[in-house]
Structure formats: C-alpha cells, structure tokens
Amino acid sequence: MSGNAMYGRTEHEWQELEQAGWDFLKARAAERRGDAMHDPTVSYSDANEELAARTGQPAFDFGQQAGRAAMGYLLGRISRNRSWPVSQLLISALVRYHGEADAGPGFFNLAREVGLIHGSMSDLERLEFWLRHVRKVQAYDWDLA
C-alpha cells in the first residue's frame, strides 16, 4: 500500500465507495422497516456486486485476503463516518461476513471500539448481540440521517 492508495484505491475512490455503500445500506435498512420477519442483511458478495455496479469501480477480489480486508475497511468507514455519528448504530451490521451467517470480526472490533461491547463474548452472545443490532438498525429512521 502506498501513501496515497489504500488497498490500491485512491482516497477519491474510497469516498465514492463510502457514499454508494451508505446509500445502499440505508435503503436496505429502510426496506419494510419495523417488519421483524424481514431480513435486511446482505452478503459480502452481493454488497460487493452492488457497489461495483453503483460506482463503476472494479469489485473487490474476495479470493484474496486483501480484497476481503478492503471490504472490511470500507464497511468500517461507512459505520464510523456515517451511521455512528447520527444514530449511535453501526449500519455495517447489515453485511454478513463472507461465508458466515453474521457480521465479520471488523464489526465486532468496531463495536468494542465505540463501547457497545465490553469484554469477551461467547459465540451465542456474539450472535445475539449482532441480531439485536441488526433489528435496531432496521428500526431506525434513516431518512433523518
């Protein structure tokens, strides 16, 4: 990584991805808001395809660790810069980690960083925390953001 390109993308490209991801995740959260039976989550792969389509930028290569890390970096930017300041929620909870049924380690690390999680958690506690957070994200009125 050079000083002016993180994961091979310029700051301008990251800003474009961040805006597109923010718009996409707000729309996902708003779908059938308040309907506890509706699953607003999206896989890493589907989010990746959507962001590539919205921005015209190449999709992240999830066959490489750097591609998965880049998606995690982007999701962290979206939550840290966009959703947390306005709602005290991490909208990146809506993106299921590659090959898993819940969020990735970056989500849980960020939740610790902002004080939503303290100490260690069992797998069941992690899953329960994530599910509660997804429901809070789904219930929030993102039109206010």
Q: How far apart are CA 16 and CA 22, in angstroms?
A: 10
> Are β-strands 9-10 and 5-6 bridged in parallel, bridged antiparallel, or unpaired?
antiparallel
pLDDT of residue 34: 67
Q: How far apart are CA 86 and CA 79, in angstroms?
A: 10
pLDDT of residue 1: 43
Residues 6 or more apart whose CB falls under 8 angstroms from that of 42 comprise: 28, 50, 94, 95, 96
pLDDT of residue 39: 86
Report yes or no: 106 and 74 within 8 Å, Cβ to Cβ: no
Report yes or no: 28 and 40 within 8 Å, Cβ to Cβ: yes
Grouped pLDDT means (10 residues each) for the chain, 145 residues: 75 98 96 79 95 98 94 97 97 87 90 95 94 94 85
pTM of the model: 0.91
- Three-state DSSP class for residue 52: helix
**Which residues face 111 on adjacent strands?**
none
SS3 of 30-51: the string is: HCCCCCCCCCCCEEHHHHHHHH
